[in-house]
Amino acid sequence: MEKIVCSRIQENFEKTGNVVPKPSGFMGIVISEICGKKKEEIKEIPEVENVVPIVEEVSQPNLEKISKLCRKVAEELPDGSRFAVDADRRGTHEFTSQEIEAKAGSEIMKLVGSLEVELDRPDFVVKVEVIEQWAGVGILEGGEILRKKVGKADSRELTAKIHLVQLVYRGKDRRGIERIGVSLGRSAQAFETKKVTIVFDSPTDADKLQAFLNGIDEGIDSRFRIQKRVYERSMSRVPVDVYELYQFLRKIDGEEDLVIMTDPRGEVLQNSRNNLKEDLKSAETVYLFNGSNKGIPTGCFERADHVLDLAPHITYATDQAITASVIALLNL
């Protein structure tokens, strides 16, 4: 896609300097020198999602250099403007994006004038792009930045309490079993859940159980590697253990805990919404049980605080179970 954008830029604009797709190997980015063209013209290229006109740039960036560069760029902001600093950092550095935003914001406030920091609805955004040993700074209008987090609850407040309990998947094809495990493991790690327990309710073939567990581990590892590379916060790998279903149910019978099971024989989610929301808030641990190609045995329902049918009249695939159930709880 990046090479397509480069071709479109070179075709559409005559005075085009150096055009670099995927600088330093980072996908989704194109750096281009275009003389005298407004960003609106560039955004007419359908493959282009966003354009940041770089006003000032610096090599070998550090916090001091970047913050002073931001101050220089911010001198163009009108008096009385409300501003925010938004930084995207790619590569390995001794500073984080949040540190850039805090340091640059403080530096800009030293300017003579009546600028005001406004993180939610700024008039202008001082945009910082850092790619390895290069940094560029530009100014965008506030409405051009789609805020991903402002005014939204942190999903991790719930997912960090969720202990996933997954009934083992049984099948004939070892590779197919492992693929199901990979999908489930990736989902468990993506939501940064508290733990995964694989349960079985009857004797299970050791070789196929091992294939399922290998898949779970592979899925968790693959997502964990991405999270460590992309997120700037400290990440933890979701732990996994194996338990016999009925013994596990006896073990978790605690007053502070909430037990939720998903099954087509359960209550429609809308009918339990209000009580479930309150229970989720007060629970110390949320045990979320999902079946596989075999459902949770009905005798277990007596131990559940809620038995939920997430998709009435529809049976979704086992590898979708974790994603479907966690998202359902997040959207109550």
Q: How far is 256 from 279, CA to CA, in rounded Å? A: 10
The token pair that represents 152 in the structure block: 């939204």
pTM value? Answer: 0.68
Q: With 0-12 CB in 10 A as exposed, 13-18 as middle and 19+ as buried, what is 54? A: middle
The token pair that represents 37 in the structure block: 């063209």
Q: How far is 19 from 32, CA to CA, in rounded Å? A: 4
Q: How far is CA 305 from CA 249, 275, 280, 288, 297, in A?
A: 12, 10, 11, 11, 15
Q: Hey, which CATH number is domain 156-330, 3.90.1150.10, 3.40.1280.10, 3.20.20.450, 1.10.600.10?
A: 3.40.1280.10
Q: Which CATH architecture has domain 54-146?
A: 2-Layer Sandwich (3.30)
Determine the 3-state secondary structure of 34 from DSSP.
strand
* HSE-CB of 328 using CA atoms within 13 angstroms: 21
Residue 35 DSSP class:
S
Residue extents of the structural domains in the chain: 1-51, 54-146, 156-330
Give the pLDDT of residue 149: 57
Q: How far is 71 from 75, CA to CA, in rounded Å? A: 6
Q: How far is 271 from 282, CA to CA, in rounded Å? A: 19
Exposure string over 169-196, b if 16+ CB within 10 A, otherwise e: bbbeebeebbbbbbbbbbbbbbbbbbeb
Residue-wise pLDDT for 52-88, tens only, equals: 888 899 999 999 999 999 999 999 899 888 999 999 9
Q: With 0-12 CB in 10 A as exposed, 13-18 as middle and 19+ as buried, what is 330? A: middle
Which residues in the chain land under pLDDT 70? 14-16, 35-38, 112, 145-151
**Strands annotated E in 145-303:** 162-167, 195-200, 240-244, 257-268, 285-290
What's the distance, CA 51 to chain centroid? 23
β-strands 162-167, 257-268: how paired?
unpaired
Any residues with CB less than 8 A from the CB of 269 and at least 6 apart, and which? 276, 308, 309, 310, 328, 332
Give the pLDDT of residue 23: 83
Domain pair 54-146 / 156-330, same fold: no
Residue-wise pLDDT for 164-183, tens only, equals: 999 999 998 999 999 999 99
Smallest Cα–Cα separation from 97: which of 66, 118, 76?
66
Torsion angle of the four alpha carbons 102, 104, 106, 109, in this order, in degrees rounded to the nearest 10:
-140
The token pair that represents 106 in the structure block: 């403080």
